[in-house]
Structure 1
Amino acid sequence: MKFNDTFINRTERFTLGIETLSGTPYLSIPVSNRLVDYEEYYEISSDSYALFLNDPSAASDFAERCRNREEDQRLILKPGSDRGVAS
Structure 2
Amino acid sequence: MRLNDETIYRDLRFSLGRHPQTGQPCLLFPVECGFLGYMACLQISEETFEEYRRDPYSALPFIERQQGRSPQELRELGFEV
Fold-level similarity (TM above 0.5): yes
Match of 1:85 in 2: none
Structure 1 residues 30-41: aligned runs within 5 Å: 30-31=30-31, 38-41=38-41
Query: How much has 1:66 moved relative to structure 2?
Result: 2.5
Quote the offset at 1:4 in angstroms. 1.9
Ranges in structure 2 where 5+ consecutive residues have no aligned partner: none
Q: Tell me how far apart the structure 1 counterparts of residues 57 and 68 of structure 2 sit (CA, whole Å).
A: 17
RMSD, aligned CA:
2.8
Identity of aligned residues (%): 35
* One-letter amino acid matched to 2:58: A
Q: Which amino acid aligns with 2:50?
A: A
Alpha-carbon contact 1:6-1:16 (below 8 Å) kept: yes
Q: Which has the higher helix share?
A: 2
Answer yes or no: is 1:14 the counterpart of 2:14: yes
Q: Which residue is 2:51 aligned to? A: 51
1:74 aligned onto 2:67: no
Structure-1-length-normalised TM-score:
0.65
Q: 1:11–1:66: structure 2 CA closer, same or farther, 3 Å change rule?
A: same
Q: What is the TM-score normalised by the length of structure 2?
A: 0.69
* Unaligned stretches of 5+ residues in structure 1: 80-87
Moved over 3 A (4+): 31-35
SS in 2 for 1:21: coil
Report the Cα distance in structure 1 between the residues aligned to 2:21 and 2:43, rounded to whole angstroms.
Answer: 14
